[in-house]
Amino acid sequence: MKSFSLFTIILLCLAILLVDVTAFYWLQSITQFIDSAIFKTMIHALFWVFTVGLITSILILKITLDNINPLRKQLLISRFYGLGILSFIPKFVFIVVISILHFTNFLFSENKSLILIPIVGVLSGLLPFIVILYGIFKAIYKFKVYHHPIKSSKLPKAFNGIKIVQISDLHLGSFNYAYNKLEHAIEKINDLEPDYIVITGDLVNNYAWELRGWDSVFNKLQAKEGKFAILGNHDYGDYSQWDTKELKQENFKAIQQFFKTIDFKLLLNDSRILTKGEDRIALIGVENWGKPPFKQYGDLEKAMIGTEGIPFKILLSHDPTHWTEEVIDKTDIILTLAGHTHGMQAGFSYKNKQWSPIKYKFKHWAGLYKHNTQFLYVNRGLGWLGFPARIGMRPEITCITLKATQD
């Protein structure tokens, strides 16, 4: 909420109030069938107690935000974000459905007091409520492994069958030091027996202190050949206010030091040549590069120095927009691994089709994409930020197997 003005927050609260007033109007069409006046009054009272309590809490949180401990601030914002969505979406769906039913019944039916209408209306609001609740308490930690073979004639035969496990957007501050929540993900990764493990940015929300104690968890990760990482837009501390530039720099250095502690090689506009016998491939890592308002710390040209003549190049770049802007048709990078979008933490998929509102902001937002002989994979993220849930967009562990093919 800190990034929004008080005026914007007031408009948000007015929107919540408008939806609740409308929802209450239709709620009365349901409670009219309750014989007990006391029970009916209790339902009405609870409805308004929750509404007034939520709006009041949001306003108080906004006004006092600067004086709250940063850790507590993150938790409060996420919880109120979750409560707001949990309240707003089901009520909005309820209003739309019951309004349509009443209107069509008024036009086409002589039975103006049809009890079926409020029943369907309640169910229409209850369904999204249950889905969101499941996303908050269950799906958010229901880690899913996505397997993808990447076939290329450029891949040296010695690297055929190499497994690369990608994780991204962990946002460890959101876990509130609940180390056990990621233990299952660590087990899933190790069970894949990866040759390489890569982290493609956004290890934290903002602060280095979010990393306290997490080294004991990440040191359990096992890779046969090596572990590498890059930074995401949240790893620079750009979304926080700092008393001095020195404090921000200390925070940044502490985050970089954490990667050394967990034995991940942090690539800052740099590259590594990976060898197997006489065969070689290049692993390139850039700092965060995104379209404004995201800052562009990345320098791909600098990162690629020393990779000339390497037939198969892999790029780690946090923001998938980098692929279209600087990679395809401009470089000979075969595979780019990105994250950043989280798949908006909400969407749905059916067979080979998937959809999320984030698609209207990012052309490439989740899964595997191909342009001629160049590939992009966008990881859906392992953690969460803001909205404390995953709805139809489970937290992801990506397992990519490289396959050498003939021309």
Domain of residue 217 covers 145-404
Residues 180 and 113 in one domain: no
Q: Do the domain assignments include residue 12?
A: yes
Does 404 have pLDDT greater than 60?
A: yes
Residues 120 and 196 in one domain: no
Residues 169 and 191 in one domain: yes
Averaged pLDDT for residues 192-210 = 97
Residues 356 and 213 in one domain: yes
Does 273 have pLDDT greater than 80?
A: yes
Q: In a 3-state reduction of DSSP, which class is residue 277?
A: coil
Residues 133 and 150 in one domain: no
Residues 120 and 166 in one domain: no
Structural contact between residues 223 and 194, judged by C-beta atoms closer than 8 angstroms? yes
Strands 163-167, 396-404: pairing is antiparallel
- CA 51 → CA 20, 92, 250, distances in Å? 7, 14, 42
Count of alpha carbons within 13 Å of 103, Cβ hemisphere only?
Answer: 6
Residues 337 and 192 in one domain: yes
Point out the least confidently predicted range of 43-52, 76-85, 131-140, 317-326. Answer: 76-85
Point out the least confidently predicted range of 55-69, 172-186, 321-335. Answer: 55-69
pLDDT tens sequence across 141-183: 999 999 999 999 999 999 999 999 999 999 999 999 999 999 9
Question: What pLDDT shows up at residue 113?
Answer: 52
Residues 122 and 158 in one domain: no
> Of 137, 158, 178, which residue constitutes the final position of a domain?
137
Q: In a 3-state reduction of DSSP, which class is residue 77?
A: helix
**pLDDT range class, residue 406, cuts 50, 70, 90:** confident
Q: Do the domain assignments include residue 1?
A: no
Q: Which amino acid is at 7?
A: F
Q: Do the domain assignments include residue 375?
A: yes
> Of 137, 155, 188, which residue constitutes the final position of a domain?
137
State the Cα–Cα distance between residues 396 and 368, nearest whole angstrom: 13
**pLDDT range class, residue 1, cuts 50, 70, 90:** very low
Residues 296 and 315 in one domain: yes
State the Cα–Cα distance between residues 233 and 202, nearest whole angstrom: 6
Question: What pLDDT shows up at residue 251?
Answer: 97
Residues with Cβ within 8 Å of 76's Cβ and at least 6 positions away in sequence, in order, are 61, 68
Residues 202 and 281 in one domain: yes
pLDDT tens sequence across 65-87: 777 777 778 888 888 889 999 99
Q: Do the domain assignments include residue 341?
A: yes
Averaged pLDDT for residues 218-243 = 96
Does 2 have pLDDT greater than 50?
A: no
- CA 91 → CA 84, 86, 280, distances in Å? 11, 9, 57
Question: What pLDDT shows up at residue 103?
Answer: 81
- CA 345 → CA 39, 46, 151, 328, 389, distances in Å? 38, 30, 29, 27, 7
Averaged pLDDT for residues 329-344 = 98
Q: Domain count of the chain? A: 2
pLDDT tens sequence across 173-195: 999 999 999 999 999 999 999 99
> Of 137, 154, 185, which residue constitutes the final position of a domain?
137
Give the single-character DSSP code of 346.
B
Total Cβ atoms within 10 A of residue 109: 10
Q: Tokens 């369904």, residue?
A: 127
pLDDT tens sequence across 93-139: 999 998 888 887 765 555 555 667 778 888 999 999 999 999 999 99
Residues 51 and 110 in one domain: yes
Residues 149 and 131 in one domain: no
What global pTM score does this model have? 0.91
